Amino acid sequence: MNVGFLGLGKLGLPTALAIETRGHKVVGYDPSPDVARTIETRKLPYREVYAQEYLEQSHIQLVPVDDVVMRSDIIFVTIQTPHEPLYEGITRLPEERVDFDYTHLKSGMKELSESIERHGEDRTVVLVSTVLPGTVEREIRPLLGGHTKLCYNPFFIAMGTTITDFFEPEFVLFGVDDEGAAQRAEAFYRTIHHAPFYRTNIENAELIKVVYNTFISSKIAFINTVMEVCHKLPGTDVDAVTDGLRLATDRVISDKYMRGGMGDGGGCHPRDNIALSWLSRKLDLSFDWFENIMMQREKQTEWLADLVQQHGEGRSLCILGKSFKPETNITVGSPSILLKNILAERGIEVTMWDPYIDEPEALPTGAAMLYFVGTKHPDFQSLTFPNGAVVLDPWRYIEEQDGVELVRIGS
């Protein structure tokens, strides 16, 4: 099948590469010179499982929007709906809340639909971008002509594992606006995998996408609260507690995200919670649950900052890891950076080092060091810490080393 993409950023390009490996011909449009440089040089500036090797063999072409329309049977729209850094989750929760910024998405959808109308033939357009409920009806539908046949199909992926998540989803969510378009999109997906499809209206699909992320945030916030209880309550160990809870597959559902550690991050979870907090205020809900999640995340990070101060007096401080999750160099929404910023508020100077971002020689060393393991990179398990150093480990996965004071938080 001939597949087009509008938007070839950190979501669009890995997805396009995945689709190409299944034998489809892919073309795309993105105005960013960074994207053009990535495709021209065949060098990915961020870490994505399989993406670099797929890119090296790729035949994806960057073409104008009109060419995307002419050369595609189905067109995926993966244009970002960003939040400014204030709403990313690396700083304190702002008092003011806002919706996502739909400027780029509206501009792209308008340009795409106008091109489709000039072409004069129906095109199936699959909108992937994250939006709050009601956005398609209010912001997108008025921009579309009669030949633009729309589906809303937000992905449930995580940056860093976009390709594997796309190939092996739990389910595929379809907000159906046009039945024919939904059928064509489903037929396309059957060339990729055999995951179940869930069809509903667009408004439901919009809501499912963002509350899916919020549910994960809720699990993480709850378990990190249990971790703090265990750290303060003699005889308890968070991993022993969660090992028991993880067996409750009927009511607790699964064991994913059931390990104490740092708060969640990335390009979706914090910003989705903050956007839903804005929506809560707009709808005048009786309780802003989404603010509650973000405040737990922030307060727990404050408590971790307290531990850093408690154990780090008179020491140089280094947070190990800048990225929001293991084995990626993506720092969007990183709880490690939130910790650094909270410590900076207190006038405490902290360095950060990440093996996926920084040069090895940039790692600070010395006997009077305190290291806080902010990202659960497997690389840190093989680090030899300086004799006399203190290591704070909220993940409880660093092994004991002679001459090193290891504090496993929550046990």
Q: Are residues 169 and 308 part of one domain?
A: no
Does the pLDDT at position 104 exceed 80? yes
Q: Among 146, 175, 200, which residue terminates a domain?
A: 200
Report the amino acid identity of residue 73: D
Mean pLDDT of 377-389: 96
Does the pLDDT at position 383 exceed 80? yes
Q: What residues make up the domain containing 73?
A: 2-200
Q: Are residues 226 and 127 part of one domain?
A: no
Q: Are residues 220 and 178 part of one domain?
A: no
Q: Are residues 174 and 230 part of one domain?
A: no
Structural domain contains residue 378:
yes
**Which one, of 259, 283, 301, 233, lies nearest residue 93 by Cα?**
301
Could you give the 3-state DSSP secondary structure of residue 125? strand
Domain count, the chain: 2
Q: Are residues 369 and 388 part of one domain?
A: yes
Q: Among 145, 179, 200, which residue terminates a domain?
A: 200
Q: Are residues 167 and 58 part of one domain?
A: yes
Structural domain contains residue 333:
yes
Q: Are residues 374 and 252 part of one domain?
A: yes
Q: Are residues 165 and 53 part of one domain?
A: yes
Q: For the chain, give the mean pLDDT.
A: 94
Q: CATH number, domain at 97?
A: 3.40.50.720
Q: Are residues 60 and 96 part of one domain?
A: yes
Does the pLDDT at position 362 exceed 80? yes
Q: For 179-206, what is each residue's pLDDT tens digit?
A: 999 999 999 999 999 999 999 999 999 9
Token readout for 256 is 């994913």
Q: Are residues 248 and 183 part of one domain?
A: no
Q: Are residues 94 and 44 part of one domain?
A: yes
- Residue with tokens 């990313």, as numbered in its chain: 88
Q: Are residues 111 and 232 part of one domain?
A: no
Q: Among 139, 174, 200, which residue terminates a domain?
A: 200
- CA dihedral 60→63→65→68, nearest 10 degrees, is -40
